């Protein structure tokens, strides 16, 4: 389908699009160096081509683009909708721009279901940049797109390729100097060594057996997250195994996040059990334990040439860690333990960034309460990491509110330390999956590889939109945890199964899923 948005000057370039001039609709808007009518307030209701904008429909349905009341900031908004299937683009051509990086920001809503619905910056002299509209039927979400303008011109485009009854709302667009993107496009692959030891196989999308680390890296993954248990029953996710996998990760060119659980098994908001070796220790001893263990693992990584780039002191520590001494019932003690971990990480490498990690990015009040206390009690940290599972932790809009709030309130970069989505609902082993019914899914995101990709792009998009460049990126959890007999969830039970294999990034045929494309996010 042809998307023509060029001035006569551009059309005279030799075979610029390989299309006849007659295919071009008239340029209805006066070319400008700044965005005109970005809030759609000029025309009131029912205008198919708002002031400053142009409309083009490959299906002859310009009326599927229109202004109406109910704006995000002002009184009106742009909507795309038709009772029949439609393709429509609302666009604005800008010329006379100073070359450089530009950022488009918009507030959007979408009922979902389209073949595609996105904002684009194109004909700007560099590769077209797009951001898909997340599915959010009631709450407005802010998204961004950025591009490098090299030809003094750019076209801002709002696109829908939609089925009957699909709709989007767009409002309050701004186009300013600046750039966006994510520095972290990562995944937790802690399960990989045990999977491989028990016969797990990983294949490329075409079916060739390969190295999981290399397959993920070639998809665009640039950061790996590994958890550390102190003395786990199965001997995996301990110092020795982490050191070995770190070598592979760094050799592939990826960075490394080390996630200290300070336990022999899973630590999360419901359980923060002390390692058996520390069980009888006093609070003072526990501070030393945290320091020594953190230093020992990180210094061993440094000694083998694989220094950690990022460290989590604790995992999903909403209620504290090393219960009961490090519970949030005693913030002064929790602060002491956290600062022990921070001090150890910095003693090994001052450039290693230390994150504090909570669950439930959709709960701004709790996250704010927690980090307000951290500030009151003098906890040291560099980054804020949050888990965000859309089927448990609320809407994308709620997560965006939290990310924006804490990044601003504490002036720290933020990232999603864990998120995931199923590509199917059935199991590949005997254990029932954590998410296994359509009723558990996020509305608008089916349990398919395409749905998994759309979810990851939506999460990446809200992190990218955090103001002032404070959205670092996203870690997928858990990319390589396929169903392999012996590699179950319980380190003390070899027969335990995996309730997560339908949320890996490799399919039940062990092939890389198309959803890995999210790693190529801008």
Residues labelled catalytic: 316, 418
Distance, CA of 384 to CA of 403 (rounded, Å): 9
Report CA torsion sign: 419, 425, 431, 432: positive
Cα 82 to Cα 66: distance, rounded to the nearest angstrom: 10
Structure tokens at 359: 């669950």
d(CA 502, CA 481): 9
Query: Could you give the 3-state DSSP secondary structure of residue 225?
Result: strand
Residues contacting residue 60 through CB under 8 Å, at least 6 positions apart: none
DSSP codes, 24-93: SPP--S--BSS--STT--SS-S--SS-TT-EEE-TTS-GGGEEEEE--SSSSEEEEEE-SS-EEEEEEEE
**How many CB atoms neighbour CB 199 within 10 A?**
10
Paired tokens of 499: 């309730």
Helix (H, G, I), strand (E, B) or coil at 192: helix
CA 515-386-478 angle, to 5 degrees, is 35
Task: Give the E-state strand segments of 114-177 in sequence order.
Answer: 116-122, 129-132, 136-149, 153-162, 167-177
d(CA 129, CA 102): 11
Give CA–CA dist 169/39, Å, rounded: 12
Helix (H) or strand (E) holding 246, with range, is: helix 239-251
Count of all residues that appear for the chain in the document:
522
Strand pairing category for 136-149 and 100-110: antiparallel
Q: Provide the 10 A C-beta neighbour count for residue 147.
A: 24
């Amino acid at each position: 389908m042809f998307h023509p948005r060029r001035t006569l000057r551009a059309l005279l370039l030799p075979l610029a699009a390989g299309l006849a001039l007659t295919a071009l609709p008239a340029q209805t808007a006066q070319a400008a160096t700044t965005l005109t009518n970005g809030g759609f307030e000029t025309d009131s209701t029912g205008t198919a081509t708002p002031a400053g904008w142009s409309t083009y429909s490959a299906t002859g349905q310009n009326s599927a683009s229109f202004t109406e009341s109910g704006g995000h900031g002002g009184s009106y908004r742009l909507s795309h909708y038709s009772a029949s299937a439609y393709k429509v683009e609302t666009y604005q051509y800008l010329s006379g721009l100073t070359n450089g990086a530009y950022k488009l920001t918009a507030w959007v809503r979408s009922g979902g279901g389209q073949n595609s619905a996105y904002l684009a910056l194109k004909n700007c002299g560099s590769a077209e940049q797009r951001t898909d509209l997340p599915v959010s039927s009631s709450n407005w979400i802010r998204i961004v797109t950025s591009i490098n303008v090299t030809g003094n011109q750019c076209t801002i485009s709002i696109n829908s390729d939609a089925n009957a009854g699909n709709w989007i709302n767009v409002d309050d667009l701004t186009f300013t100097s600046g750039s966006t993107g994510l520095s972290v496009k990562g995944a937790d692959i802690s399960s990989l060594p045990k999977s491989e030891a028990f016969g797990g196989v990983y294949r490329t999308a075409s079916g060739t057996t390969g190295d999981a680390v290399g397959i993920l890296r070639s998809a665009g993954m640039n950061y790996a997250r590994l958890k550390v248990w102190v003395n786990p029953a199965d001997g995996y996710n301990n110092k020795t195994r982490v050191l070995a996998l770190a070598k592979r990760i760094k050799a592939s060119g990826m960075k490394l996040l080390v996630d200290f659980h300070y336990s022999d098994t899973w630590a999360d908001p419901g359980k923060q059990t002390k390692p058996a070796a520390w069980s009888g220790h006093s609070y003072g001893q526990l501070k030393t334990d945290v320091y020594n263990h953190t230093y020992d693992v990180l210094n061993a990584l440094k000694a083998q040439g694989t220094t950690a780039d990022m460290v989590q002191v604790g995992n999903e520590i909403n209620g504290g860690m090393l219960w009961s001494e490090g519970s949030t019932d005693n913030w002064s003690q929790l602060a002491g333990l956290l600062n022990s971990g921070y001090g150890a990480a910095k003693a090994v490498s001052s450039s290693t960034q230390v994150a504090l990690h909570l669950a439930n990015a959709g709960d701004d009040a709790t996250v704010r309460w927690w980090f307000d206390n951290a500030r009151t009690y003098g906890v040291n940290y560099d980054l804020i990491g949050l888990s965000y599972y859309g089927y448990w932790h609320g809407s994308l809009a709620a997560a965006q509110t939290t990310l924006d709030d804490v990044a601003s309130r504490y002036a720290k970069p933020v990232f999603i330390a864990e998120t995931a989505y199923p590509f199917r609902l059935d199991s590949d082993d005997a254990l029932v999956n954590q998410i296994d019914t359509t009723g558990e899914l996020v509305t608008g995101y089916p349990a398919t590889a395409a749905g998994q990709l759309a979810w990851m792009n939506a999460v990446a998009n809200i992190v990218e939109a955090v103001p002032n460049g404070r959205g670092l990126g996203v870690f997928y959890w858990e990319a390589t945890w396929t169903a392999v007999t012996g590699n179950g969830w319980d380190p003390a039970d070899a027969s335990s199964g995996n309730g997560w294999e339908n949320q890996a990034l490799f399919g039940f045929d062990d092939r890389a899923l198309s959803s890995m494309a999210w790693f190529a996010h801008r």
